[in-house]
Structure 1
Amino acid sequence: MQQKAFILLVAGLALLARPAAAHCNYLIEKGDNLYDIAENNGFNETELMKLNPSITDPELIFEGDTLRLPCKGGDDEKGDSIFDLLQHRTDMSTLFAALASVGMLEDLQDGDLDATLFAPTDKAFEALLKQLKLTAAQLLNDTALVQDVLAYHVIPGDALDADDLKNGKSYSTMLKGKKLKIKKNDEGVFVLTVAGQEVPVKIADLEAGDAIVHVIDEVLLPLESEGGKAPAPSPSKPTTPTGDGCTYTVKEGDTLFDIAAKYDTTLEDLVALNKQIEDPELILPGDEIKLKEC
């Protein structure tokens, strides 16, 4: 009997001694070193450096930077917080690093945070970098741009699953004055941006503490991208109205204010004529605007 108890005790201690399941992404903390990070996650320093070629000196790592880890197994679909969920996703390393670069990860460690995050995958960021002709390092160095883009992916104050998201409704984001609009049909849920994007939700309703995360395969842009970064779009003059002058089809770069000025009316009158416009700051290419009663 004593021998059996001893065997069970040894087995239990062996299980406790095993390293915890390795994270896919790791936020470097004060006092960390590469050797301990590797050992604590069940692999060696050489593997870690291969995954992080930016590290040229294993003794020189910085608090607040992030590392990719050789995690194994499938992606987690649930976490104690947004931070915890992203740590255990193989497809979210760039998002994790971007959030760390602008100091947003700390707030996302709160499991009680009520928010909705549209989370772009690594492939989404790769496509954006190619479009902007930037490297990941160059993008992350542009703190103002990264902060604006990431803030545009967060609906604060509400944890909205796919059923909660309403077709045709606009939602305020963390980026002041910028909203996202939702489109729903038989094909799924789509996120519409002020830049004219229509981005499908690929994986919905990942639980992250009290928050909800939806995976998307395109980075949401709050501004029209042009030339290597995403500056504010220059106002464009609306073209001739369609049909008999009663309606106008919105073009990329249009604003309701510019349309009103061009056609000798006011913003207030256009809003009154177009009850479908919930947010005067959010009109999308292809929308039809009534200019006058005909």
Structure 2
Amino acid sequence: MIALPRGTDVLALATAWFPAARWSREPGRAAAARPMAGARFRGMAVTTAPGPGLLDLDGAAEVVGPFPLAAAVARAVGLPPRESDLYGVPVTGLGDVAAGWATAVARRTGGAILPADRSRALVPDPHASVDLTLWSPVPVPPRDALPLLRPSLSGSRVGPVETAGRPDGPAEFSLTASYEYDGQVVVRCARSHEVPAVLSTLDWRAHGPWAYRVSWLPPDPVELEVEQPSQLHVIARQRVTPGICRVVATLWRTAGGTVVDAGGFVVTPEELDERVRTARR
């Protein structure tokens, strides 16, 4: 099961991975009236009480919920002491895809994965990945990349812009900013034929084929794969996060488009600003 903060829009999170996701039964809606059997009950019907909904993930599996979880119970299983909603996620059907979606949703919302016996919850680190991608219809010329982005990468040594010539269109480019103790931030611009599923839920004018991928390469890349990295890794991540967000915000103001995080969810400009403020605390 996944535990999410009370009131989380789980349908919006589902369509980010499964664009055709829908409520086959909305939460809180009673089932249709069912005729009672037997001659003496002729003309009488019963309805069941309102209950959890059924969220259809593109017809391959259904998520059941929400089931309310009180703040005191949430705290007892290792969650923040707040009211939460539980959703049952199938272990068959979509298999690893459903499990991956559940983990991404828990990470995105500050929720958790809760075993069926409701023992200690697994709380994915919501700050584990700081990588962001801007999907835009506009290519920024490589000659403009360095003067445009250097102010957002303060404290780093920014290398030369590397280009890949395209005889039929604008050149793709990459730019690397190196930090003495915090690794590197790499900005890559390239045209892509594959886009995240969440973009199919947006107006086509809100994004484009040009992917501006902004990635962090920490001093020890292995720490990106562990759920509880070292304190040095966490500190370095906190220091580079504001710069990554500023780079993406600058590109968005210049080229327009839609920002998507490593979990496949849309990040708004307001959220970019909030990430900068949070990382500085």
TM-score (norm 2): 0.24
Q: Which has the higher contact order (CA 8 A, sep 6+)?
A: 2
Larger Rg: 1
